[in-house]
Structure 1
């Protein structure tokens, strides 16, 4: 999830657990503690980009670390803050749930989260919501704004915080239904169109949950398309991208390339642009791909030019966006 959504959800959690005891300060406690796992972004300062990509949402997002950090914070908080009725165990529950929920929520999008590190490097990604979805964020953020200015009426405050969290949870379930519907339709259409594949990925297109980006393929290459929950057309418009894995053998940094392959969960292609080797991670979608099926991918990395890759994940996400792109997204969401 994006940091704004994490802050909103964390603030609501703080109000739920500690608002009655320490007042509005609980919102700040919750927002900070819930956001702690993202401290790993500082690794980008000194690690090469491929290693930093793997470090983010790695061990700081593991269940083991969430428990250890919660124990440490609970010990510190119980010494510094001793409100009536608050034991060390209650602080522990508060901190552990706040951190654990961050780890769980991050697995709902497509980056991948290292729940089991350091024992298992497998990344968990449910691909249910886009990393920044305003239709999810609006609920906890609205609740936070109201709570900040609301009077200290405990019953009313409790209703508002629970509404903010409850609506966010309902929206996640709503998105899960979309994914189930889209996967059922798309896999059936792929079968009808006699598309053979060993790897399949579906994830929402940017900033919403009605239009979905689809990748299906194998070691030789991938078919890419977009499908709306409102589509009525009984056929997929597919565009094929060859993997070209052999091109990566020429890379000057083979160790970095292997890290990129691991990060991409093997959803990748390679290509040559103007004599420059490019690695594409397909999971992050295309640049305005619903408008142009041949568009380049949002995540692209230059293996032989490390200095050009500091903003690899961010630079393509909203590249090319303008009024026409937004209108085309809206019309594509409405279905064919």
Structure 2
């Protein structure tokens, strides 16, 4: 999830756990605690881009990190500003809940999370939420701001609990919408006799109503879009070949080996000018519901590694304008 969501949800959890005894400092401590796994961003200062892609959401997003760090943070907090009347077990549960919430939320979007690091490099990904969803974040954001000024103790905890409840409810909506889309894709591919060996569905930017669908076969991918409000049974797919043969001149590149791991095998290769481009399909297309042949958000220049700054982010809202936004709204409505 985006940093803002972790900060405000962490603050609300802090209020519920220790707000009554720790005051408004609980908001700050909660925000910091839930943001802690993202300390791995410092690796980007010295790691090559592709190694950094693999390192992010790695060991600091693992269950081992949670188990080791929660009691350590609890011990430090217990020693801080004594005397206080917060039990050590309360500190442990507080930090464990903050860290577990961060890990669970990150599993919901496309990047994937290394829960079993360093014992396994498998990335866990539910593909049920876009990395930033305003409707998910808005209530804990408003509540966190209000808590900075609110004084009544019982109202503070109640509002913090309501915001956490909203987030849980919204995650349930995500899962329900995903199941609706999955069922529709299953029916559509059956009618079209499309065979595939694996697939995923994931939300398009800033919503959980219009979904991006990728079906993989031996030579490439069928890519389409499905709204939870679509009335027709059919899904319109556009085919993208994988183009593995284009990789022969660069097959020994270290960056390429990293990208194979990072993409979990969902990739295509294309030529752009004098450079080969590696597309990671998991992050979607740039306005693909509007232009089915649109380029992909994550595109890495294999022969121009110096041109890959912000590779995950740079294409996320590229080519957006008023027409694109209106087309998304129409597509969400099933039109």
Please give the TM-score of this superposition, normalised by the length of structure 1: 0.97
Residue 226 of structure 1: aligned partner = 225
Give per-residue Cα distances to partners, 1:215-263, cap 9 Å, x unaligned: 0022310000010001112211110000011222322752211211111
Give per-residue Cα distances to partners, 1:269-298, cap 9 Å, x unaligned: 011111210000001110010000010101
- C-alpha displacement of 1:45: 1.3
| Residue 275 in structure 1 maps to residue 254 in structure 2 | no
Q: 1:245-284 alignment to 2 at 5 Å?
A: 245-251=244-250, 254-284=253-283
| Residue 147 in structure 1 maps to residue 147 in structure 2 | yes
The number of residues matched between the two structures is 335
1:331–1:14 CA distance, 2 compared to 1 (3 A): same
Residue 305 of structure 2: aligned partner = 306
Give distance in 1, aligned partners of 2:167 and 2:153: 21
Give distance in 2, aligned partners of 1:250 and 1:18: 58
Residue 66 of structure 1: aligned partner = 66
**Contact 2:285/2:295 (8 A) holds in 1:** yes
3-state secondary structure, aligned to 1:207 = coil
**Contact 2:224/2:237 (8 A) holds in 1:** yes
Q: Flag structure 1 segments of 5+ consecutive residues without an equivalent.
A: none
**Contact 1:302/1:308 (8 A) holds in 2:** yes
1:71–1:185 CA distance, 2 compared to 1 (3 A): same
Give distance in 2, aligned partners of 1:262 and 1:248: 16
Give per-residue Cα distances to partners, 1:3-33, cap 9 Å, x unaligned: 0100011000110111011101100000001
Show structure 1 runs of 4+ deviating over 4 A: none
**Contact 1:252/1:303 (8 A) holds in 2:** no
Residue 294 of structure 2: aligned partner = 295
Give distance in 2, aligned partners of 1:145 and 1:43: 31
Residue 117 of structure 1: aligned partner = 117
- C-alpha displacement of 1:89: 2.3
**Contact 2:107/2:125 (8 A) holds in 1:** yes
Give distance in 2, aligned partners of 1:227 and 1:12: 34
Q: 1:1-336 alignment to 2 at 5 Å?
A: 1-151=1-151, 153-251=152-250, 254-336=253-335
**Contact 1:62/1:117 (8 A) holds in 2:** yes
Q: Flag structure 2 segments of 5+ consecutive residues without an equivalent.
A: none
Give distance in 1, aligned partners of 2:191 and 2:274: 39
**Contact 1:114/1:123 (8 A) holds in 2:** yes
- C-alpha displacement of 1:97: 1.2
Give per-residue Cα distances to partners, 1:7-65, cap 9 Å, x unaligned: 01100011011101110110000000100000111111111111100111011100101
Give distance in 2, aligned partners of 1:138 and 1:206: 16
Give distance in 2, aligned partners of 1:74 and 1:204: 37
3-state secondary structure, aligned to 2:44 = helix
1:83–1:13 CA distance, 2 compared to 1 (3 A): farther
3-state secondary structure, aligned to 2:148 = helix
**Contact 1:252/1:304 (8 A) holds in 2:** no
3-state secondary structure, aligned to 1:209 = coil
Please give the TM-score of this superposition, normalised by the length of structure 2: 0.98
